């Protein structure tokens, strides 16, 4: 028979096991809101360019540089900031990034100077680079190994929500109450988030001096480069099509249905991130292969039947399903591969992701001007075939069958 002390010990162990299987939903949703604020801050100007241009006394093309400078801020800041702050405690660092959004969006709300607004946007982009580098690693540290993927999926759900619901809602609100009010609301959201993070999100220590790795050491860890290549190729393929979806739809006489097509994409993306969140901790490799294959299938259908509306809607739905959980897949793969160097590795992912966004605009524009939108499908298939080959060959490191 067991003694009283042995029984108490067993009960304590069972309680600890039960607690370890509980996701810290409130804390993870705070990270999700942080991602929502980041994406909305980045993309909101795109839907309000005429109003912003009029308000700042510049052309729409100059107003569009608010998006460009934000992306540049993220691109140049993510790796240096994360490398410099490896030893800093994580919650104060996260709060610093959120405060950056509050300050930048407040300046944007009240500024009548184009130059000052552009400076604010660059600072917001820097805050975004820091925040994106933190999110996945932060979520992963809150939970045991077997729940890391699901935790990252919840932390990332703010991204598709911002793109599919937040940006259209913000654009509608901006036309009703003015673009400055939209950025004021974003500042208010950031202030709420500061309190939420301070109360509900646990703090973690930075890395001890002896455990810190240089950028070169992190980059050369087994599996890091394959994951980064997959991010670059997959997201580049996505952005070629996403950036130029309106001219692509002209072939099917659907240019006036761009909003509906993007809604189909957004809804499918939400379903995709839910599916990935449920299955990722057991099937990361299979899900990455499946997502790449589905995206390739959608690209093939768009190439063969891009002038048939029904086929376009179906292909866009499959594309959204494939892309929705991709950020979660890549960030989870990188976090598990890099282990204690996850934050620095994530900053590299942020850089690769933003390079792919910029590259999508450049490459897609060249393809459109020289060969027409019909060239998108072959270009996507080349990129996705390369992606699939890398995922399939990265069986030991990067996208293994299981993590140890």
222-244: pLDDT as tens digits: 999 999 999 999 999 998 888 78
Q: Which helix (H) or strand (E) holds 290?
A: helix 258-305
Q: Which two tokens stand for residue 326?
A: 């991709």
Residue 378 forms part of a structural domain: yes
Residues 169 and 37 grouped into a single domain: yes
Q: How many domains does the chain have?
A: 2
Residue 8 forms part of a structural domain: no
Residues 46 and 158 grouped into a single domain: yes
Domain with 191, as residue range(s), is 24-207
Residues 41 and 78 grouped into a single domain: yes
Q: 204: which residues sit within 8 A by CB, 6+ positions away?
A: 89, 90, 91, 138, 141
Cα dihedral 87/91/97/98 (nearest 10): 180
Give the chain's end-to-end CA distance (angstroms, integer): 36
Residues 234 and 189 grouped into a single domain: no
Global confidence as pTM: 0.80
Task: Write phi, then psi, for 47 (nearest 5 degrees).
Answer: -90, -5
Q: Provide mean pLDDT across the span 314-322.
A: 95
Residue 14 forms part of a structural domain: no
Distance between CA atoms of 139 and 143, rounded to whole angstroms? Answer: 7
Residue 47 forms part of a structural domain: yes
Alpha carbon 192 to chain centroid distance?
21
Residue 403 banded pLDDT, cuts 50, 70, 90: low
Give the tens place of pLDDT for each residue, 15-59. Answer: 333 445 788 999 999 999 999 898 888 878 877 778 888 899 988
Cα dihedral 320/323/325/328 (nearest 10): -160
Residue 170 forms part of a structural domain: yes
Residues 259 and 338 grouped into a single domain: yes
Residue 161 forms part of a structural domain: yes
- Out of 207, 231, 250, a domain closes at 207
Residues 191 and 221 grouped into a single domain: no
Residues 232 and 187 grouped into a single domain: no
């Amino acid at each position: 028979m067991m003694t009283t002390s042995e029984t108490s010990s067993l009960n304590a162990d069972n309680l600890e096991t039960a607690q370890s299987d509980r996701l810290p939903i409130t804390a993870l949703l705070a990270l999700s809101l942080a991602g929502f604020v980041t994406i909305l801050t980045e993309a909101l100007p795109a839907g309000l360019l005429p109003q912003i241009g009029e308000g700042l006394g510049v052309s729409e093309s100059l107003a569009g540089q608010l998006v460009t400078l934000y992306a540049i801020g993220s691109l140049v800041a993510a790796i240096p900031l994360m490398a410099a702050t490896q030893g800093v405690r994580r919650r104060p660092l996260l709060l610093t990034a959120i405060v950056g959004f509050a300050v930048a969006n407040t300046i944007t709300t009240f500024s009548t100077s184009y130059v000052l607004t552009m400076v604010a946007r660059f600072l917001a982009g820097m805050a975004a680079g820091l925040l994106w580098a933190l999110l996945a690693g932060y979520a992963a540290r809150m939970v045991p190994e077997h729940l890391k993927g699901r935790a990252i999926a919840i932390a990332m759900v703010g991204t598709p929500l911002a793109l599919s619901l937040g940006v259209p809602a913000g654009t509608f609100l901006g036309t009703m109450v003015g673009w400055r009010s939209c950025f004021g609301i974003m500042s208010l959201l950031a202030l709420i988030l500061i309190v939420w993070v301070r109360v509900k999100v646990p703090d973690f220590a930075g890395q001890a001096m002896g455990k810190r790795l240089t950028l070169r050491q992190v980059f050369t860890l087994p599996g890091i480069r394959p994951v980064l290549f997959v991010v670059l190729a997959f997201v580049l393929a996505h952005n070629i099509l996403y950036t130029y979806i309106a001219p692509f739809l002209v072939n099917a006489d659907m240019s006036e249905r761009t909003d509906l097509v993007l809604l189909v994409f957004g809804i499918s993306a939400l379903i995709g991130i839910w599916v990935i969140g449920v299955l990722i901790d057991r099937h990361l490799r299979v899900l990455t292969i499946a997502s790449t294959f589905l995206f390739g299938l959608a690209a093939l259908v768009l190439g063969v039947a891009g002038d048939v509306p029904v086929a376009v809607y179906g292909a866009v739905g499959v594309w959204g399903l494939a892309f929705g959980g991709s950020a979660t897949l890549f960030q989870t793969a990188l976090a598990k591969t890099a282990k204690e160097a996850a934050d620095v590795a994530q900053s590299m992912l942020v850089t690769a992701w933003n390079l792919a966004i910029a590259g999508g605009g450049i490459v897609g524009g060249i393809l459109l001007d020289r060969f027409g939108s019909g060239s998108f499908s072959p270009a996507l298939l080349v990129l996705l075939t390369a992606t699939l080959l890398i995922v399939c060959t990265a069986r030991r490191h990067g996208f293994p069958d299981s993590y140890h």
